[in-house]
């Protein structure tokens, strides 16, 4: 896919992102594919990718998709209770970090650093315990839930890889993935007792439906509502 996504719907991003860049933090359990998702979006192997459930990302790193969108890679949840505690505390710190907004080389306002959170779900697992921990212990108390979006990665390994043909799901797998989306949405909404944006399903490693991630992000931008007056 190269770096063609850097220009995808760029005019719309320009119109909807008055304070640049739009900062999007990717979170999820270890092995969900946060780093590979960033690589699929920016078109290069920049983010450090682990293998299986072995963590690679141990810190918070940022990568620009273009002048309007910046993606933040974060450590995964599920390595150990102590590491999870440290990661969740650091997540909260980032979500509450304030940055200056400049106009004509002068500070005109301040705002929170992180605008949106993308929760990457490992589609090959059914246990959402790590996602519930992220939501209930950190995310929902630090950012409005309408700025949290969900995406189910690894569509290519659903149904044990059957019905994946020529880089995309056949009709059988496509129907299965839609049922999986509905199931994940229902489980999460019951757990947190609130509505969420409908998740999308994709495969970072196969670069399948990756544009849908940007569609989901763009379509859920109202403006930078988290602005804080000086």
pLDDT digits (tens, 9 = 90+) for 88-146: 999 999 999 998 877 777 777 788 899 999 999 998 877 789 999 999 999 999 998 88
CB atoms within 10 A of CB 96: 12
Q: What is the pLDDT of residue 224?
A: 55
CA dist., res. 34 & res. 49, Å (int): 8
CA dist., res. 174 & res. 167, Å (int): 12
Tens digits of per-residue pLDDT, 5-52?
A: 999 999 999 988 878 899 999 999 999 999 999 999 998 766 554 444
Rounded-to-10 torsion of CA 109, 112, 115, 116? -170
Q: What is the pLDDT of residue 1?
A: 47
- Domain limits of the chain? 4-228
Tens digits of per-residue pLDDT, 169-201?
A: 999 999 999 999 999 999 999 988 989 989 999
Q: What is the CATH number of domain 4-228?
A: 3.40.50.300
Q: 98 forms bridges with which residues in the sheet?
A: 112
| Radius of gyration of the chain from its Cα atoms, rounded to whole angstroms | 17
226 pLDDT band, cuts 50/70/90, is low
């Amino acid at each position: 896919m190269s770096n063609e996504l850097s220009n995808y719907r760029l005019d719309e991003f320009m119109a909807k992102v008055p304070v640049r860049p739009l900062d999007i933090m990717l979170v999820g359990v270890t092995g969900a594919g946060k780093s590979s998702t960033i690589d699929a979006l920016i078109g290069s192997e920049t983010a450090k990718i682990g293998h299986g459930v072995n963590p690679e990302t141990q810190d918070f790193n940022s990568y620009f998709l273009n002048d309007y969108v910046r993606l933040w890679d974060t450590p995964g949840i599920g390595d150990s209770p102590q590491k999870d505690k440290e990661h969740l505390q650091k997540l909260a710190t980032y979500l509450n970090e304030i940055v200056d907004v400049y106009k004509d080389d002068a500070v005109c306002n301040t705002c929170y650093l992180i605008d949106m959170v993308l929760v990457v779900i490992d589609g090959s697992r059914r246990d959402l315990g790590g996602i519930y921990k992220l939501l209930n212990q950190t995310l929902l108390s630090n950012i409005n839930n309408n700025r949290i979006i969900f995406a189910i990665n690894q569509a290519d390994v659903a149904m044990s890889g059957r019905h994946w043909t020529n880089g995309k799901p056949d009709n059988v797998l496509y129907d299965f993935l839609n049922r999986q989306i509905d199931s994940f949405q229902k489980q999460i909404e019951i757990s947190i007792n609130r509505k969420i944006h409908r998740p999308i399903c994709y495969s970072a490693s196969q670069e399948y439906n990756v544009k849908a991630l940007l569609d989901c992000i763009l379509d859920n931008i109202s403006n930078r509502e988290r602005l804080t007056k000086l």
